[in-house]
């Protein structure tokens, strides 16, 4: 399935220390043109572990629109998945939240 940039989706999220995964919510950061052309999507981690702060974490302010039930942050921890592994869309970031994530993503990658 192909999703739009800033959609919140459910995916099998990989653990960085092994081959296991768990169903988690993630943010689509790549645009639809990339997702269609490459049959893969670039995602960012969404976590409720707000106390374990990473540089450039972005708090999601509009939880309802994003389809989230508790306080979460978008963490600049990226990964790529085959589009077939994206399970469902549960929401979309508000324009303000999307703008904040994009700004943080650019800072993380040193993009002007």
Q: What is the pLDDT of residue 22?
A: 82
Distances (CA, A) of 24 to 10, 36, 78, 96, 111: 5, 22, 13, 23, 28
Stronger pLDDT, 112 or 68, i.e. the higher one:
68
Q: CB–CB of 97/55 below 8 Å?
A: no
pTM of the model: 0.90
> 74 exposed, middle or buried (CB, 10 Å; 0-12, 13-18, 19+)?
buried
Say yes or no to pLDDT of 99 above 80.
yes
Q: What is the pLDDT of residue 43?
A: 97
All domains of the chain, ordered by start, with CATH?
7-108 (2.30.30.110)
Q: What is the pLDDT of residue 16?
A: 67
Say yes or no to pLDDT of 14 above 70.
no
Alpha helices in the chain (DSSP H): 32-38, 63-66, 95-108
Q: CB–CB of 44/57 below 8 Å?
A: no
- Grade residue 20 by pLDDT with cuts at 50, 70 and 90: confident
* For residues 5-11, average pLDDT: 98
Q: What is the pLDDT of residues 29-88, one digit of tens each?
A: 999 999 999 999 999 999 999 788 999 999 999 999 999 999 999 999 999 999 999 999
Taking Cα atoms as reference points, which of 85, 93, 60, 87 lies closest to residue 74? 60
SS3 (DSSP) at 82:
strand
């Amino acid at each position: 399935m192909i999703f739009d940039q800033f959609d919140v989706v459910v995916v099998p999220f990989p653990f960085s220390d092994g081959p296991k995964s768990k169903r988690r919510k993630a943010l689509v950061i790549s645009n639809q043109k990339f997702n269609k052309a490459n049959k893969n999507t670039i995602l960012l981690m969404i976590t409720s572990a707000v106390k374990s702060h990473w540089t450039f974490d972005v708090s999601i302010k509009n939880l309802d629109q994003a389809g989230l039930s508790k306080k979460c942050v978008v963490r600049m921890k990226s990964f790529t998945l085959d589009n077939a592994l994206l399970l469902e869309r549960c929401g979309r970031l508000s324009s303000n939240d999307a703008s904040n994530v994009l700004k943080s993503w650019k800072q993380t990658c040193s993009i002007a």
